[in-house]
Structure 1
Amino acid sequence: MSPILGSVFWLLVTLGVLVTFHEFGHYWVARRCGVKVLRFSVGFGRPLWRRVAKDGTEYQIAAIPLGGYVKMLDAREGDVAPEDRAQEFTGKPIWQRIAIVAAGPVFNLIFAIAAFWATFVIGRPDAVPFISVAPNSLAAQAGMVSGDRIVSIDGNPTTTWSEAGETLVYAVVGRSPLPLHVQGTDGTQRDVVLPLQKLPSGGDVSKDLTALGLSAQAGTTLVGAVTPGDPAARAGVQGGDRIISVNGRPLGDFEALTKAVQEEAAKSPTMALVVERAGKQQQLTVIAEKKSVQGQPPRWLVGIAPAPPEAAILRYPPGKAFTAALQTTWNTAAGTLSLIGKMVTGQASAKNLSGVIGIAQVANDSAGRGLAWFLTFLGSVSLSLAVLNLLPIPVLDGGHLLYYLIELVKGRPVSERTMIAGQYVGLALLFTMMGVAFFNDIQRIFVS
């Protein structure tokens, strides 16, 4: 399947699952409260499929998959027959109306916890958090070097790169100094503090991470394969060796090894390699050869390929997986709210918003990485939908909840005129956010 078709397919799967679950929350609680449901729709616009149940509820799948709705019997939308007044929405006690409106985001929250739990039970393939550090970056200034392994962040053990990456993203938004405990290539451990407060305010997270200078290590200096007959093979280098230094230059990752070979071989093709094998170090002499590969300009080669990043699987027994799912849900929700707050106050850029194109690309990528990664993605998006829908913006669930809270305080419903004005404001805000998110998606495509 092509990337474009794959992105469209997995976007439809994502929206279909999450929108259905969200609207089912409204539907289920409404029925439990005795409210008559007229229509349950996944999507907007012209129906592609429709079925009317025995109780009169119309179920449909519509052409525009960017949401859904549950239409209930509502006196504000027309006359209600006397025999149906007991099932009318606005006639229900305010606590029932609050429960019905809040049920959609709550069901998204439940789905997120369940998805994270399943992810941890299944086990998510990942990589050990070895890092690469850009020269002259904030990470380099803090004393971090390529090849370091992150042991813990802010006192919390970190076993995989995705854990480290997620924590770093939210920490960058917070702009507070971040303590890390790392292990160097020589096995020694030390504490460093990332000076995140030095990052400029108002930037987008991707640029902040670039300025920070930390990324997943492209590969350790562990040798994955040796080309027979090439200089490394003749010198005695074997797969599984870890190259410690070239002509005395210590190495943090394979990129540093490649650079060292080019620079040292330019001085003299004969180089001293220190390798670690079975826990012991030994020195080998390799004579590099200058070759052109696949039409590229000639460069110094020794004939070795890196091993893939060291694998790690994030997996827990069911009980601990539930605790981990709750913690992940809390951390992700807190990070999302923090980012929204900083965008509102101008401390973070609106460029951090992503729209359906960005979601589609991530959906396709996560699905390609396996079930556990796709469940993680679904959980994250579901949680984002819950948080977004609870914002006090008219037309969203949070806006309706705000009206009901005002009704509780005043003792009477908000006027119809106020609600109509709020709808216009809410729609304007919503379409503005969608427009900015869409623009960001297009810009990322052309910039990349």
Structure 2
Amino acid sequence: MVLTLLAFAFALGLLVTFHEFGHYWVARRCGVRVLRFSVGFGRILWQRTDRHGTQWALSAIPLGGYVKMLDEPPAGADEAASREAFNRKSLGQRSAIVLAGPLANLLLAILLYASLGLMGTLEPAAILSTPAAGTPAARAGLAGGDELLRVDGVPVRSWTDARWRLLDPLVRGGDIALDVRPAGGGAPRTLQLRVRGGDAAPDGPDPLAEAGLGLVEPRPMLGELIPGGAAEEAGLRAGDLVEAIGGVEQPSVSAMVDIISAHPGQALPVRVRRDGAELSLSVTPRIQPDGEGAPVGRIGVLVQGERPMVEARLGLLDSLRQGVVRTVDMTGFSLRMMGRMVLGDVSLRNISGPVTIADYAGQTARQGLEPYIGFLALISISIGVLNLLPIPMLDGGHLLFYLIEAIRGRAVPDRMREAGQRVGVALLFGLMSLAFFNDLVRLFS
């Protein structure tokens, strides 16, 4: 719980502060006087004023931050001071200042995704499991052990990359071209995966699993052996990769455990790969009672899962290119999902609130730095896209008023702006209520 709260607070603080810094940076370039830049809300814990008159503050509640600008010049201000007010700036300058916040979030996402490419990560190779009968993958002719090479002509480097490339077309529906290399080598072939499309709710089924696409199960690899156990007596060693046991070739971890459990006191042939060479041995599981007293077989070894892995590491330019492509793809995907929600094609259950976001923050933080950075990039994109929506009270609402001003040739009347603000408050309240409701449903279901 503590890690979840810390990961959530750090994420929100970083992403909102970066958003506000975008507003600040462009405002200063446009000559607007910034009165305060606060990291956090509430009571000010520390502050200092720079030579431009901006008060930099650290506040008690670390859930974001804010920028306070000079909106109107004070009474009696001279011409120079009046020009520092936000509302005295040109339409283009005001629009740029407002747009800078969401763009800062998208820029941060690009940098975060680029950092993943520079860091380099070990990811599972895109080798597919046997699809369930009747699924689109089975009908397309995919087989267990096929290595996925391209999705709609775009190369994939790993299973993580493959999931990224598959998510949007699976939700959208239609035909997806998959280039695969058969297990054991051979010439690549192109298959057509036909899917109906559907929802992508956080608490719903995985679209890839629904299509019959899954990562091949890990192969059993022996870990720590119990001294004097059946595995040690049979000559097995930690690090042995099990190729076959009990006549079953290429068993999964669960299949190996089941085979051993089902043959107490019976010799089982086992073939392992050790240091690149194959060895044939025989192991006899010892008879032990299970939780209900029934006899089962045990060989005294920790069985681990081993998957083929690839290192995904890119140079600086390729990392930046990946950051741009992923940010553009996810931004487009988010906008399409919002459009489908409006049309009723996608469930409103996809809207998540702070409880779900905090939960994901904690989960990814526990998994490691790379998943957490990916989470930060995704939420940064969400903040940027959300703020660009043409809803009064959001940055997109201000841009909408500026667009109307550009068309009319004069500012939007105060009464129209105030009415829009009331509508915006109502829409945001409804959106927040729905998000909290979805959070509670996920929490208690």
Question: What code does the residue aligned with 2:395 have?
Answer: D
Cα 1:288–1:142 shift into 2, 3 Å: farther
Q: CA deviation at 1:137?
A: 6.4
Letter in 1 for 2:361: A
Instruction: Give the 5 Å matches for 1:239-258.
Output: 239-251=238-250, 253-258=252-257
Equivalent residues of 1:43, 1:64 under 8 A apart:
yes
- Give the structure 2 partner of residue 336 of structure 1: 334
Distance 1:270 1:99 in 2: 75
Structure 2 residue aligned with 1:114: 111
Q: Which residue of 2 aligns with 1:6?
A: 3
What is the letter of the counterpart of residue 41 of structure 1?
Answer: S
346, 349, 354: which is aligned to 1:348? 346
- Alpha-carbon deviation of 1:58? 3.4
Aligned residue number for residue 195 of structure 2: 196
1:96: Cα distance to partner?
Answer: 0.5
1:247-301 per-residue CA deviation (whole Å, 9 max, x = no partner) reads 54444632343345556x39x9444445455666665544444434688965333
Counterparts in 2 of 1:108 and 1:33: CA distance versus 1, 3 Å: same
- The answer to whether the 8 A contact 1:224-1:307 is kept is no
Say yes or no: does 1:100 pair with 2:97: yes
Q: Distance in 1 between matches of 2:177 and 2:221?
A: 28
Partner of 2:31: 34
Q: 1:321 to 1:409 in 2, by over 3 A?
A: same
Specify the alignment match of 1:359 in structure 2: 357
CA-CA distance at 1:97 after TM superposition: 0.7
Counterpart in the other structure of 1:90: 87
TM-score normalised by structure 2 residue count: 0.84
Q: How far apart in 2 are the matches of 1:29 and 1:245?
A: 64
- Alpha-carbon spacing, 1:156–1:261, altered in 2? closer, same or farther (3 Å): farther
Residue of structure 2 equivalent to 1:23: 20
CA separation in 2, counterparts of 1:408 and 1:235? 82
Q: Percent identity among equivalent residues?
A: 37
Tell me if structure 1 keeps the 8 A contact 2:253–2:305. no
2:69 corresponds to 1:72: yes
Match for 2:126 among 114, 129, 133? 129
TM-score (norm 1): 0.84
Is the CA contact 1:117–1:325 (under 8 Å) kept in the aligned structure 2? yes
Amino acid at match of 2:321: T
Name the SS for the 1:392 alignment partner: coil
The change in CA–CA distance for 1:18 and 1:320 in structure 2 (over 3 A counts) is same
Matched letter for residue 77 of structure 2:
P
Deviations 1:55-87 (A, max 9, x none): 443333445554433222224xx9654323222
* Residue 364 of structure 1: how far off its partner (Å): 3.1
SS of the residue 1:152 aligns to: strand
CA contact (8 A) 2:220 2:306 kept: no
- Cα distance in 1, alignment partners of residues 231 and 181 from structure 2: 29
Superposed counterparts of 1:174-253, under 5 Å = 174-183=172-181, 185-187=183-185, 191-197=190-196, 199=197, 201-202=198-199, 204=201, 206-209=204-207, 210-217=209-216, 219-224=218-223, 227=226, 229-251=228-250, 253=252
Contact 1:14 1:378 in 2 (8 A): yes
Q: 1:435 to 1:192 in 2, by over 3 A?
A: farther
Asked if the contact 1:289/1:300 (under 8 Å) is kept, the reply is: yes
CA-atom RMSD in angstroms? 3.3
Unpaired segments of 5 or more residues in structure 2?
Answer: none
What does residue 375 of structure 1 align with? 373
Equivalent residue, structure 2, for 1:389: 387
Q: How far apart, in 2, do the equivalents of 1:398 and 1:16 lie?
A: 21
Q: 1:436 aligns with which of 430, 434, 440?
A: 434
CA contact (8 A) 1:29 1:103 kept: yes
Question: In structure 2, how many angstroms separate the alpha carbons of the residues matched to 1:361 and 1:254?
Answer: 30
1:98 to partner: Cα distance: 0.8
1:277-288 equivalences in 2 (<5 Å): 284-288=281-285
Distance in 2 separating the partners of 1:7 and 1:340 = 27
- Determine the C-alpha separation between the residues in 1 that align with 2:134 and 2:55: 59
Change (3 A) 1:297 1:355: farther
How many residue pairs get matched? 438
The DSSP-based 3-state class of the residue aligned with 2:99 is: helix
- Is 324-333 or 37-46 further displaced after alignment? 37-46
Q: Quick one: distance in 2 between partners of 1:434 and 1:57?
A: 33
The answer as to whether partners of 2:219 and 2:250 remain within 8 angstroms in 1 is: no
> Which 10-residue stretch deviates more, 418-427 or 399-408?
418-427
Check the 8 A contact 1:134/1:213 in 2, yes or no.
Answer: yes
CA offset at residue 233 of structure 1? 4.6
C-alpha spacing 1:245/1:297, structure 2 compared with 1 (3 Å): same
1:101: how far off? Answer: 0.5
- Aligned residue in 1 for 2:160: 162
Label 1:278 to 1:217 Cα distance change in 2 as closer, same or farther (>3 A). same
- Uncovered stretches (5+) of structure 1, i.e. residues with no partner: none
For 1:398, the equivalent position in structure 2 comes to 396
* 1:4-61 superposed Cα distances (whole Å, 9 cap, x missing partner): 1111112222122221211111112112212222232334455454544454433334
Measure, in 1, the Cα distance between the counterparts of 2:356 and 2:183. Answer: 36
Q: Residue 94 of structure 1: CA displacement?
A: 0.5
- Structure 2 SS opposite 1:87: coil
Partner of residue 316, structure 1: 314
Are residues 34 and 68 of structure 1, via their aligned partners in 2, closer, same or farther at CA, if it must alter by over 3 Å?
same
Deviations 1:181-227 (A, max 9, x none): 34555445654444331x5x346254143433444455223444555
Measured in 1, the distance between the counterparts of 2:292 and 2:47 equals 59
